[in-house]
């Protein structure tokens, strides 16, 4: 249940970061060059989520190894 | 973390980064944003100020034209480039142009130069019969006289403009949700055949991820709709049917949570999963296409999604995006599944 909640919030934030990338007011982002900032923000958010995924994967892997060795 | 078992996760990450970078950075094709005058009369000069988007009108000689319904072009005899995105033009309208009805004919504004190629505002000008006695007979040109350039840019569409990039985020998440659900149904069927609880755990994990993708799709769709079309939700068939389909999948969760016995839970939720998938297909794919009118492409009288709405440039990022979301979805499902297995083993050992 806990992991379900975790993965739910994970994807919620992923979708939020997609929203950040796409709710572009065409007047605002058009020519100011700030699109690179948007890209940077979205990539950073994605990398944070990725880091979380990898950490989770490793933790579970460790537990599986422990289980196997017993 | 060895590469042999996890190569597909790395592939998902690579595709995701590609989708983000290409989807956000590749510019839109040049387009016409606004123009000052939408009425023209035969036998007089049509004067207009035009504002364009993503253009460099100052670096090459720019022409303005009117494209008539019979594919003939009238060239502006005077253009004044104000800056890279603003130009004003005067176009003489022939006095002998045939105007069949009082409503006039619709003409398309065309702008071209050697750097941007040509771009249009379709049917933006209405030409009506003028009563001036001037005889204006400008030369006619053809579409092959326009300059075109080959570049890799996303289509410029009115109303959506830059938010066309949402194709790689909102639409792609829905498509990958279908892929994940198909695999989930596969595992449900395998459970019913083999009665192996691993298959049930897998299908539950995949359905969980798919449901979260569905919520993400609804949220991103609402946000897109609000900023582009003015409302978070409308009475559109596809929207309502999708909401109903997601509610059915919520019921799947509730069903799983309410049964204690592992075997009957697995059996019931496998059957319900298959039923939900069939419902999803009917509600989201079939009914919208049968309905009379819908806002979504491909449904209710609109041309199909891949016809008018997908360009080859969009496809180059759209398909990798679907793969990226699907792979990352599978990764998340795998983590949920492995945790589930660990939990069951832990409980079995009775510490």
| SS3 call for B118 | strand
Interface contact B216-A25, CB threshold 8 A: no
- When CB atoms are compared, the residue of A14, A39, A57 closest to B335 is A57
Burial class (CB in 10 A: 0-12, 13-18, 19+), B1: exposed
**Per-residue pLDDT of chain B in tens (351 residues, 90 and over written 9):** 678 889 999 999 999 999 999 999 999 999 999 999 999 998 889 999 999 999 999 998 999 999 999 899 999 999 999 999 999 999 999 888 888 888 889 999 999 999 989 999 999 899 998 887 778 888 889 888 888 888 899 989 888 888 889 889 999 999 999 999 999 999 999 999 999 999 999 999 999 999 999 999 999 999 988 888 888 888 888 889 999 999 999 999 999 999 999 999 999 999 999 999 999 999 988 888 887 766 676 555 555 555 556 788 999 999 999 999 999 999 999 999 999 999 888 877 755
ipTM (interface pTM):
0.77
Residues of B in contact with A46 (CB under 8 A): 16-17, 20
* A9 interface with B at CB cutoff 8 Å: no
State chain B's maximal CA–CA distance in angstroms.
101
Coil/strand/helix, residue B81:
strand
Give CA–CA dist B31/B54, Å, rounded.
7
Q: State the pTM of this model.
A: 0.83
Kindly list the domain boundaries of chain B, sorted by start residue.
Answer: 31-145, 161-349
Length of chain A: 70
- Residue in A4, A53, A60 closest to B208 by CB: A4
Minimum Cα–Cα distance from A9: chain B residue: B212
209-248 of B, contacting A, C-beta below 8 A: 209, 212-213, 215-217, 219-220, 223-224, 227
CATH of region B31-145: 2.60.40.10
Query: Which tokens go with B259?
Result: 């049964």
The CA–CA distances, whole Å, from B99 to A59, A69, B20, B96, B159 equal 75, 87, 49, 9, 30
> Are the Cβ atoms of B331 and A53 closer than 8 angstroms?
yes
Suggest the residue from A11, A42, A52 to mutate for an interface test with chain B (most B CBs closer than 10 A): A11
- For residue A16, give its domain range: 2-69
- 3-state secondary structure string, B31-55? EEEEECCCEEECCCEEEEEEEEECC
| B307 contact partners, CB below 8 Å, separation of at least 6 | none
- Beta carbons within 8 Å of B321's beta carbon, 6+ residues apart: B15, B19, B23, B168, B169, B172
Indicate the number of domains in chain A. 1
Q: Report CB contact under 8 Å: B223, A23.
A: yes
Would the CB atoms of A26 and B161 count as touching at under 8 Å?
yes
Contact B212, A11 (CB under 8 A): yes
Using a CB–CB cutoff of 8 Å, tell me whether B331 touches chain A: yes
Backbone angles phi, psi at B196, to 5 degrees: -95, 120
Q: Are B91 and B42 in contact (CB under 8 A)?
A: no
């Amino acid at each position: 249940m806990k992991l379900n909640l975790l993965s739910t919030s994970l994807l919620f934030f992923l979708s939020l970061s997609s929203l950040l990338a796409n709710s572009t007011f065409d007047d605002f982002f058009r020519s100011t060059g700030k699109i690179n900032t948007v890209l940077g923000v979205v990539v950073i958010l994605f990398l944070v989520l990725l880091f979380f995924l990898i950490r989770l994967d490793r933790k579970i892997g460790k537990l599986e190894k422990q289980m196997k060795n017993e | 973390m060895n590469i042999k078992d996890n190569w597909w996760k790395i592939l998902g990450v690579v595709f995701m980064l590609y989708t983000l970078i290409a989807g956000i950075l590749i510019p839109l094709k040049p387009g016409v944003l606004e123009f000052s005058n939408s009425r023209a009369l035969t036998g007089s000069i049509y004067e207009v100020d035009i504002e364009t988007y993503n253009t460099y009108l100052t670096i090459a000689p720019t022409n303005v034209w009117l494209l008539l319904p019979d594919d003939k072009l009238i060239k502006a005899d005077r253009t004044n480039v104000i800056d890279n995105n603003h130009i004003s033009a005067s176009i003489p309208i022939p006095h002998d142009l045939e105007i069949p009805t009082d409503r006039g004919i619709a003409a398309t504004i065309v702008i071209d130069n050697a750097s941007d190629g040509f771009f249009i505002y379709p049917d933006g000008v209405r030409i009506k019969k003028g009563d001036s006695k001037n005889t204006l007979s400008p030369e006619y040109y053809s579409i092959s006289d326009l300059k075109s350039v080959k570049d890799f840019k996303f289509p410029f569409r009115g109303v959506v403009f830059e938010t066309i990039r949402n194709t790689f985020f909102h639409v792609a998440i829905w498509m990958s949700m279908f892929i994940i659900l198909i695999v989930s149904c596969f595992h449900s069927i395998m459970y019913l055949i083999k009665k192996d609880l691993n298959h049930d755990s897998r299908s539950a994990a995949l359905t969980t991820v798919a449901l979260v993708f569905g919520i993400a799709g609804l949220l991103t769709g609402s946000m897109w709709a609000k900023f582009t079309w003015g409302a978070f939700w409308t009475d559109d068939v596809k929207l309502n049917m999708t909401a109903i389909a997601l509610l059915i999948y919520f019921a799947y969760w509730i069903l799983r949570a309410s049964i204690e016995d592992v075997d009957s839970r697995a059996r019931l939720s496998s059957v319900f999963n298959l039923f939900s998938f069939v419902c999803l297909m009917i509600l989201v794919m079939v009914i919208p296409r049968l309905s009379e009118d819908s806002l979504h492409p491909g449904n209710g009288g609109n041309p199909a999604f891949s016809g008018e709405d997908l360009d080859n440039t969009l496809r180059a990022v759209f398909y990798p995006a679907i793969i990226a979301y699907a792979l990352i979805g599978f990764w998340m499902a795998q983590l949920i599944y492995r945790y589930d297995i660990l939990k069951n083993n832990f409980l079995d050992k009775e510490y």
